[in-house]
Amino acid sequence: MKQDWLQEALQARAAKGQKRTLRTMDCCQHPFVEVEGRKLVNFSSNDYLGLAAHPLLVERGHAFAQAYGAGSRASRLVCGSHPGYLKVEAKLARLKGTEAALVLNSGWQANLGLLAALAGPKDLVLMDKLVHNSLIQGVLASGAPFKRFRHNDLDHLAQLLQEAQGKRVFVLAETIYSMDGDQPDLERLVGLTKAAGAFLILDEAHGTGVFGPEGMGLSVGLGADLVMGTFGKALGSFGAYLAGSELLVQYLINFHPGLIYSTALPPFALGAIDASLELVPKMGAEREHLGHLSQVLRQGLRQRGYDTLASQSQIVPLLVGEEAQCLALSAYLEDQGFLALAIRPPTVEPGKARLRLALSATHTLEQINGLLSALDRWGAL
Ligand SMILES: Cc1ncc(COP(=O)(O)O)c(C=O)c1O
């Protein structure tokens, strides 16, 4: 078959300045990264606690691989559910304060299969305008009709819930939004969905490890029906969890396609997760430092007239608007020794291109000030 249509699609992207390429990045100890032979301060990583290269994660990963092998041999329902899973899931449920927890291979996979497992054409999904693409794809796969409420606008959600009376309704939101770094009024969100008898799913990919009791997320103790969180960001490893009631977890074991039809995680990943669940609850000082750095950066940017949206977290957007200018600013910062990648449509809405500055507890105040000074020089160009 001729493949001109592939070329045309790529050319159309390139014409809009939106064609992406993969760049090799060498992983030094966070917050540094090596790009084309240059060591840069990394402001684009989700390694919020600097755990990805932590010796205990690496050591425990090796120990699990030695005990159970390099590969997991099959899906969890066949023979891939090695004892590493049991240990991690019991620990997780305790830390999340839920009856049960289930580990899946990635946040993408967990979200993609979730709505396909839970909802169907007779149901209704109400989701925040900015929920992650993996949730949206899952909703599309489920065949359930959906409506999107304005970002963090719970009055709008209340209105949609009112209109949906008599239906089984699923509400989707994030505890920390991945590109804006803001959060909804979680208590009101839980109250609204409970009062309406709706099923609340919270994506805690960017809150796990950073916020809440023992760093286990803003959802802890709130009473959401189901929480999805990832291990690949603050927890420095790979994979994801779903936390909820025992009944729900048993249901998902039977109906979640990502659990049923995919080979289980390699034991190494489970070992690293096990170690990070041991470390994260004790990292209160690191979380405090991270919170302080985030505040300094937001304040510094706002004082310089930059729009950081409603960020309240370690994710600090620097809104640029126009894509070409955003790419130019990112390239300038790279030249100055900082990796701060441009986030552009279709990842964000047209006209909302931004640098998504992601902070880590391993950053120093000097590095934040260095970034702000570089922005001052850019402003003066
Ligand atoms: C909000 C949100 N949910 C889910 C995911 C997917 O998680 P994973 O990277 O583990 O596939 C991401 C990843 O970027 C995310 O930002």
Average pLDDT in the chain? 96
Q: Which residues of the chain form CATH 3.90.1150.10?
A: 22-49+284-380
Best substitution site from 132, 202, 211, 265 to test ligand 1's pocket, by max atoms within 8 Å of Cβ?
A: 132
Q: Catalytic residue, from 123, 174, 214, 286: name it.
A: 174
Provide the token pair at 283: 């990292």
> Helix axis angle, 55-68 relative to 267-279, nearest 10°?
140
Which helix (DSSP H) or strand (DSSP E) does residue 173 occupy? strand 169-174
Location of structure tokens 């304060």: 97
- Tell me, what's the pLDDT at 130? 97
Quick check: 380 pLDDT over 80? no
Give me the mean pLDDT over the 295-323 stretch.
97
- Tell me, what's the pLDDT at 374? 97
User: How far apart, in whole angstroms, are the C-alpha atoms of residue 78 and residue 69?
Assistant: 16
* Percent of the chain surpassing pLDDT 90: 92
Give me the mean pLDDT over the 24-53 stretch.
92
Domain 55-281 is found in CATH 3.40.640.10:
yes
Which residue type does 345 have?
A: P
Tens digit of each residue's pLDDT (9 = 90 or more) over 326-363: 999 999 999 999 999 999 988 899 999 999 999 999 99
Q: Tell me whether strands 199-203 and 240-244 are parallel, antiparallel or unpaired.
A: unpaired
Q: Report yes or no: 42 and 31 within 8 Å, Cβ to Cβ.
A: yes
User: How far apart, in whole angstroms, are the C-alpha atoms of residue 157 and residue 189?
Assistant: 9
Tens digit of each residue's pLDDT (9 = 90 or more) over 253-304: 999 999 999 999 999 999 999 999 999 999 999 999 999 999 999 999 999 9
- Tell me, what's the pLDDT at 175? 98
Tens digit of each residue's pLDDT (9 = 90 or more) over 199-224: 999 999 999 999 999 999 999 999 99
- Tell me, what's the pLDDT at 331? 96
User: How far apart, in whole angstroms, are the C-alpha atoms of residue 317 and residue 330?
Assistant: 13
Asked if 206 is an active-site residue, the reply is yes
| Binding site membership of 111 for ligand 1 (Cβ less than 6 Å) | yes
The string of DSSP codes covering 316-352 is: EEEEEESHHHHHHHHHHHHHTTEE--EE-TTTS-TT-
Best substitution site from 134, 139, 227, 348 to test ligand 1's pocket, by max atoms within 8 Å of Cβ?
A: 134
Quick check: 105 pLDDT over 70? yes
Tens digit of each residue's pLDDT (9 = 90 or more) over 115-165: 999 999 999 999 999 999 999 999 999 999 999 999 999 999 999 999 998
C-alpha of residue 107 to centroid of ligand 1, in Å: 5
Which pTM does this prediction carry? 0.96
Quick check: 111 pLDDT over 90? yes
Which range has the worst mean pLDDT, 3-17, 32-46, 62-76?
Answer: 3-17
Q: Which residues of the chain form CATH 3.40.640.10?
A: 55-281
> Helix axis angle, 246-255 relative to 107-118, nearest 10°?
90
| Binding site membership of 232 for ligand 1 (Cβ less than 6 Å) | yes
User: How far apart, in whole angstroms, are the C-alpha atoms of residue 224 and residue 161?
Assistant: 16
Q: Of 3.40.50.800, 3.40.1280.10, 3.90.1150.10, 3.90.79.10, which CATH number belongs to 22-49+284-380? A: 3.90.1150.10
Q: How confident is the model at residue 2 (pLDDT cuts 50, 70, 90)?
A: confident
Tens digit of each residue's pLDDT (9 = 90 or more) over 68-104: 999 999 999 999 998 989 999 999 999 999 999 999 9
| Binding site membership of 178 for ligand 1 (Cβ less than 6 Å) | yes
Quick check: 381 pLDDT over 70? no
